[in-house]
Structure 1
Amino acid sequence: MLQLLVFVVGVVGLGWLIGATNLPGEWYAGLVKPGFVPPNWAFPVAWTILYVMIAIAGWRTFRSEPKGKAMLVWAVQLGLNFAWSPVMFTMHQIGAALVILIGLFVAIVTYIGLEISRDRLAAALFVPYAAWVAFAGVLNAAIWRMN
């Protein structure tokens, strides 16, 4: 259980830290956005829930195959996830952020594919994440196009 706690605290904690140090700010507020942008409060709520699910899936994969391909893909997706906010909100690179989201989506789907036959729960924990990142990609693309 200590490993699970480390995964959850690590993933959620780093996610919160990156979010807190790369705030959308005035720049983002000034962008033209599509009408389907969720309210600001929805993002930290959604990401906190998703980060817990990502951590549990990672912990399950780590327990069964710590040096396997699925664990590598899990680590890659987390790195891409954590890269998006600084690129979007600090560097103001909307197109580069979209490229990161595309890579992140591919990594998420790859992880699901690797885990579906070995650990259905770990794979299932990534399905809402894939849906949210797909939505985020559509939103990111719309913002890029509109600005």
Structure 2
Amino acid sequence: MHPSEAALPDSPTPPLQRFLIAVLPVAAASVLGSVATMPNIPTWYATLAKPGFTPPNWVFGPVWTLLYAMMAYALWRILALPKDRPGRRGAVAAFFVQLALNALWSWAFFGAHSPLAGLVVILALLVAIVATIRAFLPLDRAAALLLVPYLAWVAYATALNAAVWRLNP
């Protein structure tokens, strides 16, 4: 085999593949979460007692759209690093763990109609987001910083979830 035919061990993920790996799973998590969430907003969720700091329902769509775009871009940046870069594999794994927890939260809270289950999942999600930011930081500071608004929103959502659980025994 000619040296030019072999993939370089330190080559980054090719651009199209990087785009698909970064965008499709994030879009899938968004859609999966929406499947559990949307039918329950005008029904079950509307009947819950909510704290005074609950935003109007219309706020969630634009906020999550922006956060998902930032998440995908952060992962895209990490995937642009050489594949053998120390920490890259763990950072990508951490990202996908938090992404799975992100989608799972909708099913725990809305799908199962369980603020307590949602609280358990969202607390794990907070830990996973922090772990992802910590894994991204030494690799790409901008990628890590792109996840900070997501962390802030999920921290706010955690407080909201906890209040809903407390108000709806």
Residues 1-147 of structure 1 aligned to structure 2 (within 5 Å): 1-6=15-20, 7-23=22-38, 24-25=40-41, 26-64=43-81, 65=83, 68-147=89-168
Distance change (3 Å), C-alpha of 1:76 and 1:122: same
Segments of structure 2 that go 5 or more residues without pairing to the other structure are 1-14
Q: Secondary structure at the match of 1:68?
A: helix
CA-atom RMSD in angstroms: 1.8
Equivalent residue letter for 1:22: T
What TM-score, normalized by structure 1, do the two folds share?
0.91
The 3 A distance-change label for structure 1 pair 10 and 122 is same
**Post-superposition offset of 1:117:** 1.9
Report the Cα offset of residue 49 of structure 1.
0.6
- Give the match for residue 12 of structure 2: none
Partner Cα separation in structure 1 for residue 60 and residue 31 of structure 2: 11
TM-score by length of 2: 0.80
Measured in 1, the distance between the counterparts of 2:61 and 2:136 equals: 27
| In structure 1, C-alpha distance between the alignment counterparts of 2:50 and 2:127, rounded to whole Å | 25
Alpha carbons 2:94, 2:135 under 8 Å: kept: no
Moved over 4 A (4+): none
1:68: Cα distance to partner? 1.3
Q: How many residues align?
A: 147
Give % identity. 45
Q: Which has the larger radius of gyration?
A: 2
